[in-house]
Structure 1
Amino acid sequence: MAGGALPHSVDLIARLEAEQRKLILTRFDHDDAWRLGLLLVGLARARGAAVTIDIRHGRQQLFHYALPGTSADNDAWIRRKSRIVTRFGASSYLVGLRHRLAGRTSADETGLNPRRYAAYGGSFPLTIAGVGVVGTVTVSGLPQADDHRLVVEALQDFVADQHDGSRSLPKEATSGRAGDEGSQPRERGEQFGSSRVR
């Protein structure tokens, strides 16, 4: 294994690849972006997570919401992580882990400007069956693995709802209020694989 590779990174990469193959949408329009966004807001509020949530279809931003405790820094992280997904068609967490496993930084591996691209967890491709990647859903504010898990949990519920033929809004998407206690500012950093947030 390449020097500096994360423990169990091969197994983790395989799991992330399997997640992406499974989380396939039947459709995705403006109303779907609203439903998915509210679902993420509900999940974040229930956990007191200070995150910013962003959903894009192509170049168009369809949903953006910042919970208390976030800042403009989270918006910058969202843009950088989303660009990775748009360029590589894979989750930002998966792209970063692949580069890390090779023993290189993402900037070294791709030649991309790290001020514009960030291969850290939290952005996931929106993929429609028979069409391909049409957009991104991104979270910023937690440690990268937690950002990724929050997005995946919401997508799992959302995809299951689509495949059941229902367009109902899950209960979690309407729970909580802006300003709920527990949304506290968190330190931000750029150390790959660390517990610091982005």
Structure 2
Amino acid sequence: MLDTLPFPTRDLDELSREERSFTFAHFTCEHAWVIGNILRNALRTVEAPALIHISLSNSMVLFHSPSLPGLMPDNEIWVARKRETVLRWGHSSWYMHNKFGGDEGKFREKYGLGMEEGGKYAIHGGAYPIFVKGVEGVVGVIVVSGLKQEQDHQIVVKAISEYRDLRDGVKSPQRNTTLIK
């Protein structure tokens, strides 16, 4: 399956549109649980160890799980760095990667970040913003770490698409509104 994932676009306008196309009507732990399990099941099916993390912008963790054994403590650090990138700049870490052509030096220079402060961020694919209709800014972040960066990004996109297709038009049992548009 990982080999069949299409290579994500590098076009910034297209990436920005893609990110906004996944705007949720609301986002709760139920959403995170389903999306996290879609990711975990997909990764387990292809025997790909990766760390899956979904949290709100206030740092509340809604889902955090390895897909399989075989991860290193570094995956936790990558998750944190990718997450911080999305929260600060409001775009996926793949968007930020492409904005700077993967050049971390240019990235740090553009934002006046020294080596230490720049190390808090990662411009490598795999972290994706969660937007909610009527709420300004990023509400949360979905992160995958452990694959090639373009696969980390694309598997998140695929999982959100699957979730949207799965829940299209379904009403939440707790609310009288559509879960995602």
TM > 0.5 = yes
Look up the match of 2:4: none
- What are structure 1's unaligned runs of at least 5 residues? 1-8, 169-198
Q: Which amino acid aligns with 2:29?
A: H
After the TM superposition, which segments of 4 or more aligned residues of structure 1 sit over 6 Å from their partners? none
Partner Cα separation in structure 1 for residue 94 and residue 69 of structure 2: 25
- Per-residue displacement from partner, 1:11-33 (whole Å, max 9, x unpaired)? 53233122112111121111211
8 Å CA contact 1:44, 1:50 repeated in 2: yes
Partner Cα separation in structure 2 for residue 10 and residue 144 of structure 1: 13
1:165 CA drift (Å): 1.5
Look up the match of 1:175: none
Look up the match of 1:69: 70
**Identical positions, percent:** 31
Equivalent in 147, 155, 158 of residue 153 of structure 1: 158
TM-score (norm 2): 0.79
Q: Greater shift after overlay, 9-18 or 81-90?
A: 9-18
1:44 CA drift (Å): 0.8
Look up the match of 1:124: 128
- Per-residue displacement from partner, 1:134-177 (whole Å, max 9, x unpaired)? 10000000111010001110011122334322569xxxxxxxxx
Say if 1:10 and 1:30 are closer, same or farther in 2 by CA, change over 3 A. Answer: closer
Partner Cα separation in structure 1 for residue 134 and residue 123 of structure 2: 26
- What are structure 2's unaligned runs of at least 5 residues? 1-7, 174-181
Say if 1:153 and 1:166 are closer, same or farther in 2 by CA, change over 3 A. Answer: farther
Look up the match of 1:14: 13
Equivalent pairs counted in the alignment come to 160
1:68 CA drift (Å): 1.4
The answer to whether structure 1 residue 142 and structure 2 residue 147 are counterparts is yes
Partner Cα separation in structure 2 for residue 114 and residue 82 of structure 1: 13
8 Å CA contact 2:102, 2:124 repeated in 1: no
